[in-house]
Structure 1
């Protein structure tokens, strides 16, 4: 079995992932105590990807829950599926980082790092065939201590994240750009696949598409859980065309540092309204590229894709590949011309709860660089960080790496298929 060990870190990561476990437990036929109540062998065929089977026969998420203060863990425990987790896998400190990346990275996280790594190691060793790790977190509040250490311990396994990135219009604190820039540096160096989600896009969906007047975090988490469930569905359920973390990396990452993805989902529904939606495959593919369905803010007039993957759920015809190629042909200006076969599909027989069919979009888009440009640099609060163990050169390096990442995306956006010099350079980088 190709198991995955999941980490959920910080308040944002734990709140988002708590809803995710609620959704996929329902899809697997698992109740809030870990007891199977389903009626299909398909629900159990790959359940070991995300769950351990306890001695009593109950299923327990293979999850490590981390935060620097206990209140987040209390919130998870009081959630509908809070009792399904392994109690020993709750790892928390007694004082938070106060929105200060340096304090979290150099002070508070170091008190937890060995204990967290021990739990991760234990979960990994219990796997028959570990395929990789997934992390859910907020970019402004993740301190990056464990990323490199897990990579060092498991260099041959895929590291994947669902990252809530900084949005200029929806920001909790003035120092988020600092935190996000320092976190991106960790993600570039230590992660293989990063799914970027931002609250601005989620609010736009709630207001403009779903027509919600006062969306709550529960509404946002509903959208995120639908998307993350869609991304992972072909990892934990059978289908005609399937995938893995490794296959996704091969198909989606043409160049090592360009591993930031924009996810999307269709049909978009508010909580409790899924049963009223039914789309055909042509409608799903048509809506898939609509930027209104993206979980990361993007400009529809400046959006070019390096690679794209589509995950279909439900009773979808095997002719879906032809439909996707037709969609790509009609929208050829949205795809770079110099990467052949840059559109992949996967299919899962089991639809999301309440829907007959759905599609999840994964795009490696040039526009993701705009997310990084938005993480503007200011030094007004620099002393908050240097006073907690950081060197000013770390800021300079973080800013430089962010600029390099933006420049690299821009370089490939400006490239055409006729540039032979680029082709030779690309071959050298891929070698």
Structure 2
């Protein structure tokens, strides 16, 4: 969670011309007077000379949040928005949710309340976490429950990193994921599913990185999240706000787990020789290899689909690209949602981190889709869960942290 957050704020600062300590460059100052949407993600400090992200970073152990405290953006964040404990959740949902997490939740909610009170019109929350570890799953679920209770109908958009089919970091990932998914079903409005293996493969294949690091992965994820939030931060011709995501992508309240893809993911060397039309980019985001979670959309049906274009894109080109898609037999919709495409266009071209892996391009597109194929992710995890739980393997670690055996693991 905090690592993805760090990558996002790095990118937002570059996009808005904000320096590493929160001061605004003179060009950005002029743009700011034209662009009022800027304040959705940043609040002005009391002396008006700098801005502060409307964000809270939380971890039950200090190492990751310490990276933010000592990193190049250490002067950007308010120190009280960086919250860390002394002992981690040891890959155990029950520790994150019941024992260790209980000690941290009040402090976290107090800080969130201060930020929420500072907003003129709070629209909702974006929550970033993984579901395989103990903190992301256990504490993440606890936080979502409290946000639902304290803020009622405010939207909660969740970005959750699911365990990968091949790359595993903990034996008990299936337990944590299943327990966490239960909370995501009840306490989020939209959940964007990501998995490290899918993003690894995109980095390897499209960016020629032999052994991608978390920085490589997170910078790619940040581009996707930036595309989703661009319409909240910049003006555009077909803008999409947070509530529109829900309205257009969630046909039934609990069917809100979405698949994302992004194009073009390309190196600087290749970008110099290639021209990407709106049509080519639109086709690319429907390719299986560009999906940010390991599942094959060709094996499912689409219920809804949202295309977020940014850069030099005119509505006519976007409409033609969608019309061409509809003639393709490979993309099939459920019969009760025959033409479920929603388009958004934002004229701010994508920004990239200087010296990073991604090329600077004139236009890009991010697709969000609600497809029945996402069930493949859950089927995989359920299968692994059942293999362990039939033997009651590792269950004592959860019961020992105050969880009743029948409570979540049934």
Same fold (TM over 0.5): yes
Q: Is the 8 A contact 1:305 1:336 kept in 2?
A: yes
Question: 2:356 matched to which residue of 1?
Answer: none
TM-score (norm 2): 0.90
The verdict on how the C-alpha distance between 1:348 and 1:31 changes in structure 2, with shifts beyond 3 A counting, is same
1:33 match: 21
What is the TM-score with the length of structure 1 in the denominator? Answer: 0.86
Quote the Cα distance in structure 2 between the aligned partners of 1:358 and 1:205: 16
Alignment check: 8 A CA contact 1:195 1:260 kept:
yes
Aligned residue among 118, 142, 146 for 2:143 = 146
Segment drifting more, 199-208 vs 37-46: 37-46
Structure 2 residues without counterparts, runs of 5 or longer:
352-359
Kindly report the root-mean-square deviation, in angstroms, between the aligned alpha carbons of the 2 structures.
Answer: 1.8
Distance 2:51 2:329 in 1: 44
Give a deviation string over 1:37-69, Cα, whole Å, max 9, x none. Answer: 162555542111111111232111000110001
Q: Map residues 314-329 of structure 1 onto 2, 5 A cutoff.
A: 314-319=311-316, 320-329=318-327
d(CA) in 2 for partners of 1:248, 1:272: 35
1:223 to 217, 220, 224: 220
Distance 1:49 1:223 in 2: 22
Matches within 5 A, 1:201-350: 201-270=198-267, 278-319=275-316, 320-331=318-329, 333-350=331-348
382, 385, 388: which one aligns with 2:401? 388
With 368-377 and 183-192 compared, the bigger mean Cα shift is at: 368-377
* Distance apart, 1:331 and its partner CA: 4.2
Q: Contact 1:42–1:238 (CA<8 Å) still a contact in 2?
A: no
SS at structure 2 position matched to 1:63 = coil
| 1:191-202 to 2 correspondences below 5 Å | 191-202=188-199
* Number of equivalenced pairs: 385
Deviation at 1:270, TM superposition (A): 4.8
Q: Does 1:72 align with 2:64?
A: yes
Encode CA deviations 1:238-287: one digit per residue, 9 max, x unaligned: 10011111111010000111100111110013589866664111111111
Query: Which range moved further: 27-36 or 325-334?
Result: 325-334
* Cα offset, 1:373, TM superposition: 1.1
1:98-117 to structure 2, matched below 5 A, reads 98-117=90-109
Structure 1: runs of 5+ lacking an equivalent: 1-12, 398-431
SS of 1:205's equivalent in the other structure is: helix
Give distance in 2, aligned partners of 1:244 and 1:371.
28
Look up the match of 1:404.
Answer: none
Residue in 1 aligned with 2:122? 130
